[in-house]
Chain A
Amino acid sequence: MHSFGYRANALLTFAVTILALMCAIASVSDNLNSPSPSSEIQILNINWFQKQPHGNDEVSLTMNITADLQSLFTWNTKQVFLFVAAEYATPKNALNQVSLWDAIIPAKEYAKFNLHTSNKYRFIDQGHNLRGKEFNLTLHWHVMPKTGKMFADKIVMSGYRLPEEYR
């Protein structure tokens, strides 16, 4: 009844139960945080805009991204994955989401920033529908917790338009 094995087993079971409970509580406590992030993106320049040899439109652009995501961070936040996607509809596709830029924010002190960047990933359409196309720029974020449930949300910024002619 009181052998070493039984005691070790009971201790291990208890420790694992408490650890699991603490993980669960940490994850649940994330729900108490109601973040209010803000962001603004300006397109400074269309660097070039062309039709690839096999017929898909490709754009290169320079953006200015301003964001304040400090309120996303809680004690259970490991990092925040951030990306900007261009979203638009074409006759062929009901929705196109193309990532232009992404970053990992490792800690709260880096969560307020302003930067200039050209697109990190290629902005290519499936087809040649980009001339004069209106599109949204969406700032998405995925909060990666130390443990538990992952959170994601976005800010949609509309009213961007590509030029009518290739350049």
Chain B
Amino acid sequence: MGWVGESVASVKSMKIRQSLSQFISLGMIVSSALIIWKGLIFITGSESPVVVVLSESMEPGFQRGDILFLHMSKDPIRAGEIVVFNIQGRDIPIVHRVIEVHERQKTREVDILTKGTETTIVKMTECCMLMASVGLKRQHVIGRAVGFLPYVGWMTIVMTEKPIVKYILIGALGLLVITSKD
């Protein structure tokens, strides 16, 4: 009896230790990703330091699936810069080039006009109307583009457009983590 009980106990403790260490290593992966992301936010000063280009409005400069690195410094916004901005009523940030800047004498408040607001592309009309009613100001801008990497973001686009791919991927990764022995 003693021998059986001993081995059962040893198997039980093995299982617990193994699953605990798996749980911890999973936690390490998640938390290090979070640390990198938050660190980037802190360094760049932008609330989303890396964005994936989702629309074709910046063709041929940026295509769908390219990624942009953003930086948000105290420097004033100037014509020609590529800014990423959020306006109310749209959850996706918009990437456009600034073509007009009017900066007030005392308050240094700026009125900005971006290229999408003037172009006659039909796709942009909705956006134009929104911006015309809001009046684009500094507080809508979440960052200006400083760097560029092609193609890296296309996986994100696939995952947002075909959610089934995302579930399969998450499922496969989860299975891998659970079944892996080390």
Which A residues form the contact surface with B (CB < 8 A)?
A: 23, 27, 78-79, 81, 83, 85, 91-99, 102, 104, 106, 121, 126, 140, 142, 144-150, 152
Please name all residues of chain A whose beta carbon is closer than 8 Å to the beta carbon of B100 when the two chains form the complex. 97-99, 121
- Interface members, chain B 126-157 (any A CB < 8 Å): 145-150
Residue pair B146, A149 in contact (C-beta under 8 Å): yes
Cβ of B57 to closest chain A Cβ, rounded Å: 14
Q: What are the residues of chain B within 8 A of A97 when measuring CB–CB?
A: 78-79, 100-102
Q: Is B118 an interface residue (CB 8 A)?
A: yes
Which chain B residues border A85 with CB–CB below 8 Å?
Answer: 79-80
Which B residues lie at the A interface, using CB under 8 A? 60-61, 78-82, 97, 99-105, 108, 111, 118, 145-150
Question: How far is A145 from B60 in the complex, measured between Cα atoms in Å?
Answer: 12
Chain B residues with CB under 8 Å of A102's CB are 99
* Interface pair A145/B102, CB less than 8 Å apart: no
A residues within 8 A CB of B78? 97
Establish whether residues B150 and A146, one from each chain, have CB atoms under 8 Å apart when the complex forms.
yes
Say whether A126 contacts B102, CB under 8 Å.
Answer: yes
Residues from chain B with Cβ under 8 Å of A93 in the complex: 102-105
Q: Is the CB of A121 within 8 A of B80?
A: no
- A92–B106 CA distance with the chains assembled, in angstroms: 9
Contact status of A81 and B102, CB under 8 A, knowing A146-B150, A150-B148: no
- CA–CA, A94 to B111, complex, Å? 12
**Which chain A residue lies CB-closest to B99?**
A99
Which residues does chain B contribute within 8 Å of A83, judged by CB atoms?
A: 79-80, 99
Hey, which chain A residues are within 8 Å of B104, CB to CB? 92-94
Which of A96, A142, A144 interacts with B101 by CB under 8 Å? A96
| Best-surrounded residue of B102, B103, B149 (most CB of chain A within 10 A) | B102
A27: B residues at CB distance < 8 A: 147
Task: Offer 24 A-B interface pairs, CB within 8 angstroms, sorted by A.
Answer: A79-B60, A83-B99, A85-B79, A85-B80, A93-B105, A94-B105, A94-B108, A96-B101, A96-B103, A97-B100, A97-B101, A98-B99, A99-B79, A99-B80, A99-B99, A104-B61, A121-B99, A126-B111, A147-B148, A148-B148, A148-B149, A149-B146, A149-B148, A152-B80
Return chain B residues, CB-CB under 8 Å to A140. 79-80
CA distance A134 to B153 in the complex (A): 46
Query: Nearest CB to that of B78 among chain A residues?
Result: A97
Q: Which 6 pairs between the two chains have the least Cβ-Cβ distance?
A: A99-B99, A97-B79, A97-B101, A95-B103, A140-B80, A94-B105
Q: How far is the CA of A55 from the CA of B152 in the complex (A)?
A: 48
CA distance A91 to B80 in the complex (A): 24
Tell which of B60, B103, B105, B146 touches A104, judged by Cβ atoms closer than 8 Å. B60
